[in-house]
């Protein structure tokens, strides 16, 4: 009888674990996600700024899983995870497992000061959120193109958070608007993007050279930086800052951090102070060796014990490690300690400009942009190829 592995969440971590376990003898895999696609979050900013169509940011999970003989995809909302019973409760059914990989990723953290905030704000972590942002901005541009009066009105966008997501969104959106107005010989003086920076600088904690490059680029693009202040309250279309300033806005983007998906509230396993699940050296829960956590839901550390940020890079590594240790356990071999690390950071800074920090060298400008795009394509092209092959198998079976 095959060892049944259930992977909850088709995130970067979930797909990494699935691909490692696929076609392994003695193992059967079930991938569960409420969406029929894998969203390429690293390209979501290009989607928001109109650089690429939405179909280039997704991979069909039905087709991808059909490529593998031992992988089953179940599209369903997860209602609860009952680890003591080794059971996943879905919308209309349930699944039992021998080993579980939780790779649900995370969701954008929201402010709770306004019950109606969903009506005029969004986050970039999901395809729905990215499309909503894209549609909103394009609609605003259309209204300004059609109405001379509307074109002269101020249009404010507030971005809460100046980490990787906030900086990339601010740069891409400002570059997008600047390009649009230049190409249509319209004035962009009425457009204002406000980036709220809680610390002394954007990208706090990164190398000073990276911070300087990003800051100079944002200023050249005319992004308004509000440093050393926090959002203390949000009222309808107005944010209040800790320095006493108030900024009216037409739309707000949340990029000030993430939280674990709410559906995991039923999973009573140890967490840290940020709500992420604790893991041992092998990425298992210290309270349940059959449950592995990978990606944003896990409190990940490098070999020296330093906390790692929730990035696609660490998600892929942790998913791969979790799958490897499941295979070793099935084969009665000793699991292998996780060796997670950040090999480099690539940051998009609007248009064909980026910065890359590899630790021993830093690259800026168009060359960095090309390297970043190559990294993204090396990830998604194999997925697209397998999805196309899987689709052919599905089509053949239907015939």
Local confidence band at 96 (pLDDT 50, 70, 90 cut-offs): very high
- pLDDT of 323 > 70? The answer is yes
Q: What is the mean pLDDT of the segment spanning 97-107?
A: 88
- pLDDT of 54 > 50? The answer is yes
Q: Return the pLDDT at 115.
A: 44
Those residues whose C-beta lies under 8 Å from the C-beta of residue 253, and which sit 6 or more positions away, are 121, 122, 123, 124, 133, 157, 158, 159, 160, 166, 169
Local confidence band at 185 (pLDDT 50, 70, 90 cut-offs): low
Q: Give the CATH fold of the 3-34+76-107+259-342 domain.
A: FAD/NAD(P)-binding domain (3.50.50)
CATH number of 117-257: 3.50.50.60
Q: What is the mean pLDDT of the segment spanning 369-374?
A: 93
- pLDDT of 395 > 60? The answer is yes
Percentage of the residues of the chain whose pLDDT score is greater than 90 = 59
| pLDDT per residue as tens digits for the range 16-53 | 999 999 989 999 999 999 999 999 887 777 787 677 88
Domain ranges of the chain: 3-34+76-107+259-342, 117-257
CA-closest candidate to residue 58, choices 389, 383, 297: 383
Domain 3-34+76-107+259-342 identical in fold to domain 117-257: yes
Local confidence band at 201 (pLDDT 50, 70, 90 cut-offs): very high
| pLDDT per residue as tens digits for the range 328-346 | 999 999 999 999 999 899 9
Q: Rounded to a whole number, what is the distance in angstroms from the first to the last CA of the chain?
A: 31
Candidate ranges 210-214, 248-252, 262-266; pick with highest mean pLDDT: 210-214
Q: Return the pLDDT at 129.
A: 77
Q: What is the mean pLDDT of the segment spanning 233-241?
A: 85
Q: Return the pLDDT at 114.
A: 46
Local confidence band at 189 (pLDDT 50, 70, 90 cut-offs): low
């Amino acid at each position: 009888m095959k060892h049944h592995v259930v992977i909850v969440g088709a995130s970067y971590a979930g797909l990494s674990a699935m691909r490692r376990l696929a076609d392994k003898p003695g193992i059967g895999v079930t991938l569960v996600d409420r969406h029929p696609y894998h969203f390429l979050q690293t390209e979501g900013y290009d989607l928001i700024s109109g650089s690429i169509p939405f179909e280039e940011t997704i991979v069909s999970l039905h087709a991808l899983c059909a490529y593998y003989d031992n992988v089953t995809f179940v599209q369903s909302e997860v209602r609860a995870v009952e680890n003591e019973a080794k059971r996943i409760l879905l919308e209309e059914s349930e699944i039992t497992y021998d080993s579980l990989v939780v790779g649900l990723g995370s969701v954008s953290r929201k402010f709770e000061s306004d019950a109606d905030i969903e009506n005029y704000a969004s986050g970039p972590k999901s395809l729905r959120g990215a499309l909503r942002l894209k549609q909103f901005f394009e609609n605003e541009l259309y209204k300004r193109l059609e109405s001379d009066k509307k074109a002269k009105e101020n249009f404010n966008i507030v971005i809460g958070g100046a980490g990787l997501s906030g900086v990339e969104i601010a740069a891409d959106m400002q570059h997008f608007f600047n390009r649009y107005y230049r190409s249509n010989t319209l004035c962009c003086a009425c457009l204002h993007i406000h980036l709220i920076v809680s610390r002394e600088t954007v990208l706090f904690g990164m190398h000073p050279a990276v911070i300087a490059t990003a800051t100079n680029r944002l200023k050249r693009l005319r992004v308004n930086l509000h440093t050393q202040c926090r959002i203390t309250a949000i009222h309808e279309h107005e944010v209040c800052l800790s320095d006493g300033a108030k900024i009216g806005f037409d739309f707000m983007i949340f990029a000030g951090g993430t939280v674990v998906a709410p559906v995991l509230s039923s999973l009573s396993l140890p967490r840290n102070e940020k709500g992420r699940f604790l893991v041992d050296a092998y990425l298992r829960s210290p309270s349940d060796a059959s449950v592995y956590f990978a990606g944003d839901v896990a409190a990940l550390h490098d070999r020296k014990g330093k906390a790692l940020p929730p990035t696609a890079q660490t998600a892929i590594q942790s998913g791969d490690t979790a799958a490897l240790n499941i295979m070793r356990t099935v084969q009665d071999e000793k699991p292998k300690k996780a060796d997670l690390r950040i090999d480099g950071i690539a940051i998009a800074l609007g248009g064909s400009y980026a910065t890359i920090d590899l630790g021993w060298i830093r690259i800026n400008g168009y060359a960095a942009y090309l390297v970043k795009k190559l990294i993204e394509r090396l990830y998604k092209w194999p997925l697209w190829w397998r999805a196309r092959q899987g689709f052919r198998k599905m089509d053949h079976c239907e015939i």
